[in-house]
Amino acid sequence: MPVARGVGRLAGRFDGDRRRLVARHLQRVVGSELNGRQLQRSVSRVFASYADYYLQSFRLPSMTTEQIVAGFSEEGYERIAEGLAEGNGVIMAMPHLGSWEWAAHWLTLHHGVPVGCVVETLEPPELFDWYRGFRESLGMKVVGLGPSAGVETVAMLRENRALCLPSDRHVGGAGVEVEFFGEVTMLPAGPATLALRTGAVLLPVAIYDHRGGCHGVVRPPVVAKREGRLRDDVARVTRALAGELEVLIAAAPEQWHLLQPNWPSDRDESEPALAAGGTVA
């Protein structure tokens, strides 16, 4: 892990535009008092954490069940179990924090929970197929963002799966305007829409890395009940979810692997490479 973190820091050092973007994100979370050398150290820790994420994930297939279970701690799993007991599936709305594949694998191995996930598609298609195969080897059913994603995710919830949905970045499809860390932006409408339409329990979830493993946190359910027009209900639930995501991210901002523009003010014409860039969800 020290080697991986060193590589991550080194990679971040040579990407000045992305470092500036990460610095903006960190200051949104922590505040403008995070500046100077302290800010630069925090930015470097984000890149180191991102490298850790890949190392943690790619070593999972070589680990034993005992190692995976021993390396994972949690608080709030009972909320997942209670949601699944209702029979409509569970939506785990997650920020890009920590090694979420470890958590999904742990759910499958330790509790026998069927897990699904929705991830960004990648180019070339062969790269996406490789990641799909990797995640399927960990016991997940994988859906790529696209025209059929809505139908496929509803089907997974009808199978009473725990569905992992990255929810802190709008990458296409329906979105909702929210205030997120003090600035208006768009977040995906999918988690709220699915919860309202299917009755699935909507849970804010985050995974935090630590030396030797991960710690999962499951927050109380976001209330997702119909009160009026679907569009208005989706907006209301998404705004409530945004507040929960703020709490989860603020607990470990240096593990927030958001390396892309996420607010309108981030999308400056001087940073076209960042606006076009992406990471694996």
Tokens, residue 178: 């929210």
Q: Are 93 and 217 in contact (CB under 8 A)?
A: no
Instruction: For residue 175, tell me if it sits in a domain.
Output: yes
What are the tens digits of pLDDT across the range 210-264?
888 999 999 999 999 999 999 999 999 999 999 999 999 999 999 999 999 999 9
pLDDT digits (tens, 9 = 90+) for 107-145: 999 999 999 999 888 788 888 899 899 999 999 999 998
**Domain-embedded: residue 74:** yes
Domain count, the chain: 1
Per the domain annotation, does 281 fall within a domain? no
Judged against a pLDDT cut of 50, whether residue 171 lies above it is answered with yes
Distance (Å, whole) CA 256 – CA 252: 7
Total length of the chain: 281
CA dihedral 79, 85, 90, 96 (to 10 degrees): 30
Q: Which two tokens stand for residue 213?
A: 């493993």
In a domain, 6, yes or no: yes
Range of the domain at 69: 2-276
What is each CA distance from 149 to 8, 46, 118, 199, in whole angstroms? 32, 30, 8, 18
- 3-state SS, residue 64: coil
Is residue 185 a part of any domain in this protein?
A: yes
Write the pLDDT tens digit of every residue in 71-84.
Answer: 999 999 999 999 99
258: Cβ–Cβ under 8 A, 6 or more apart, which residues? 22, 25, 95, 96, 168, 169
Q: Give residue 170's identity as a one-letter amino acid code.
A: H
How far apart, in whole angstroms, are the C-alpha atoms of residue 275 and residue 267? 6
Q: Is residue 140 part of a domain?
A: yes
Q: From residue 270, give the alpha-carbon distance in Å to each of 15, 17, 214, 266, 276.
A: 14, 10, 37, 10, 12
Q: Residue 179: inside a domain, yes or no?
A: yes
**Residue 134 within a domain:** yes
- What is the structure's pLDDT at 16? 80
